[in-house]
Amino acid sequence: MASKRATIREIDTKYMEQRQQELDRQSKRRKGLYRRLTFMGVVFGILMIVCGMTLFKQSAQISEKKTEVEHLQTEQASLLEERDFLKQEIENYQDVEYIMEIARRDYFLTLPGEQRINVTKQNSD
Protein backbone atom coordinates (compact mmCIF):
# COMPACT_ATOMS: atom_id res chain seq x y z
CA MET A 1 0.00 0.00 0.00
CA ALA A 2 2.75 2.38 0.76
CA SER A 3 4.00 2.01 -2.78
CA LYS A 4 0.66 3.08 -4.26
CA ARG A 5 0.62 6.27 -2.29
CA ALA A 6 4.06 7.10 -3.35
CA THR A 7 3.09 6.76 -6.98
CA ILE A 8 0.15 9.21 -6.67
CA ARG A 9 1.38 12.61 -7.29
CA GLU A 10 -0.22 15.79 -6.04
CA ILE A 11 -2.24 17.99 -8.33
CA ASP A 12 -0.92 21.40 -9.14
CA THR A 13 -0.71 23.32 -5.89
CA LYS A 14 -1.81 26.68 -7.36
CA TYR A 15 -5.01 25.13 -8.63
CA MET A 16 -5.63 23.46 -5.26
CA GLU A 17 -5.05 26.75 -3.45
CA GLN A 18 -7.49 28.57 -5.75
CA ARG A 19 -10.06 25.82 -5.37
CA GLN A 20 -9.68 25.91 -1.58
CA GLN A 21 -10.03 29.71 -1.54
CA GLU A 22 -13.17 29.41 -3.69
CA LEU A 23 -14.62 26.82 -1.33
CA ASP A 24 -13.79 29.05 1.67
CA ARG A 25 -15.54 32.01 -0.01
CA GLN A 26 -18.58 29.88 -0.74
CA SER A 27 -18.62 28.67 2.85
CA LYS A 28 -18.40 32.26 4.15
CA ARG A 29 -21.17 33.35 1.77
CA ARG A 30 -23.35 30.46 2.90
CA LYS A 31 -22.72 31.33 6.56
CA GLY A 32 -23.51 34.98 5.84
CA LEU A 33 -26.68 33.94 4.01
CA TYR A 34 -27.78 31.79 6.96
CA ARG A 35 -27.07 34.65 9.34
CA ARG A 36 -29.03 37.14 7.22
CA LEU A 37 -31.94 34.74 6.84
CA THR A 38 -31.96 34.04 10.58
CA PHE A 39 -31.88 37.75 11.36
CA MET A 40 -34.68 38.48 8.90
CA GLY A 41 -36.72 35.59 10.34
CA VAL A 42 -36.32 36.94 13.86
CA VAL A 43 -37.26 40.47 12.75
CA PHE A 44 -40.27 39.11 10.85
CA GLY A 45 -41.32 37.06 13.89
CA ILE A 46 -41.09 40.10 16.16
CA LEU A 47 -43.12 42.16 13.69
CA MET A 48 -45.77 39.44 13.54
CA ILE A 49 -46.00 39.34 17.34
CA VAL A 50 -46.31 43.14 17.54
CA CYS A 51 -48.98 43.18 14.80
CA GLY A 52 -50.89 40.38 16.54
CA MET A 53 -50.83 42.20 19.85
CA THR A 54 -51.97 45.42 18.18
CA LEU A 55 -54.86 43.64 16.44
CA PHE A 56 -55.89 41.99 19.70
CA LYS A 57 -55.86 45.31 21.56
CA GLN A 58 -57.81 47.01 18.79
CA SER A 59 -60.45 44.28 18.72
CA ALA A 60 -60.84 44.59 22.50
CA GLN A 61 -61.21 48.37 22.19
CA ILE A 62 -63.74 47.98 19.40
CA SER A 63 -65.85 45.61 21.48
CA GLU A 64 -65.71 48.04 24.42
CA LYS A 65 -66.77 50.91 22.16
CA LYS A 66 -69.66 48.85 20.74
CA THR A 67 -70.86 48.10 24.27
CA GLU A 68 -70.57 51.76 25.18
CA VAL A 69 -72.48 52.78 22.04
CA GLU A 70 -75.30 50.34 22.84
CA HIS A 71 -75.50 51.69 26.39
CA LEU A 72 -75.56 55.28 25.16
CA GLN A 73 -78.24 54.48 22.59
CA THR A 74 -80.51 53.02 25.26
CA GLU A 75 -79.83 56.05 27.46
CA GLN A 76 -80.62 58.33 24.53
CA ALA A 77 -83.91 56.54 23.90
CA SER A 78 -84.95 56.92 27.53
CA LEU A 79 -83.97 60.60 27.50
CA LEU A 80 -85.99 61.17 24.33
CA GLU A 81 -89.02 59.56 25.97
CA GLU A 82 -88.54 61.75 29.03
CA ARG A 83 -88.22 64.84 26.80
CA ASP A 84 -91.48 63.98 25.05
CA PHE A 85 -93.20 63.47 28.40
CA LEU A 86 -91.92 66.80 29.69
CA LYS A 87 -93.03 68.60 26.52
CA GLN A 88 -96.50 67.12 27.02
CA GLU A 89 -96.45 68.28 30.64
CA ILE A 90 -95.54 71.81 29.52
CA GLU A 91 -98.43 71.81 27.08
CA ASN A 92 -100.77 70.49 29.78
CA TYR A 93 -99.75 73.14 32.31
CA GLN A 94 -100.56 75.83 29.78
CA ASP A 95 -104.16 74.53 29.63
CA VAL A 96 -106.45 76.11 32.27
CA GLU A 97 -108.75 73.10 32.51
CA TYR A 98 -105.84 70.78 33.29
CA ILE A 99 -104.64 73.12 36.03
CA MET A 100 -108.15 73.18 37.51
CA GLU A 101 -108.24 69.36 37.49
CA ILE A 102 -104.86 69.15 39.25
CA ALA A 103 -105.99 71.73 41.84
CA ARG A 104 -109.12 69.72 42.61
CA ARG A 105 -107.40 66.36 42.73
CA ASP A 106 -104.16 67.20 44.54
CA TYR A 107 -104.99 70.26 46.60
CA PHE A 108 -108.69 69.59 47.31
CA LEU A 109 -109.75 72.99 45.93
CA THR A 110 -113.31 73.63 44.73
CA LEU A 111 -115.02 76.11 42.47
CA PRO A 112 -117.32 78.68 44.01
CA GLY A 113 -120.65 77.05 44.80
CA GLU A 114 -119.23 73.48 44.94
CA GLN A 115 -118.94 71.35 48.03
CA ARG A 116 -116.16 68.89 48.63
CA ILE A 117 -117.13 65.48 50.04
CA ASN A 118 -114.33 63.28 51.28
CA VAL A 119 -114.96 59.55 51.14
CA THR A 120 -112.69 57.31 53.17
CA LYS A 121 -112.12 53.67 52.46
CA GLN A 122 -113.13 51.22 55.18
CA ASN A 123 -111.05 48.22 56.02
CA SER A 124 -113.09 45.02 56.17
CA ASP A 125 -111.34 42.97 58.84
Range of the domain at 63: 16-107
Q: Is 1 part of a structural domain of the chain? A: no
For 84, what's the count of Cα atoms within 13 Å in the CB-facing half-sphere?
A: 5
Q: Is 124 part of a structural domain of the chain? A: no
Q: Is 67 part of a structural domain of the chain? A: yes
pTM equals: 0.51
Q: Is 55 part of a structural domain of the chain? A: yes
Q: Is 112 part of a structural domain of the chain? A: no
Q: Is 9 part of a structural domain of the chain? A: no
Give the chain's domain count.
1
Q: Is 76 part of a structural domain of the chain? A: yes
10: helix, strand or coil: coil
At residue 2, the pLDDT reads 53
At residue 118, the pLDDT reads 76
pLDDT block averages, 10 residues each, the chain of length 125: 60 82 93 96 97 97 97 97 96 91 84 80 73
Per the CB < 8 A criterion, the answer to whether 20 and 27 are in contact is no
Q: Is 117 part of a structural domain of the chain? A: no
Contacts of residue 100, defined as CB under 8 A and 6 or more positions apart, other chains included, come to 111
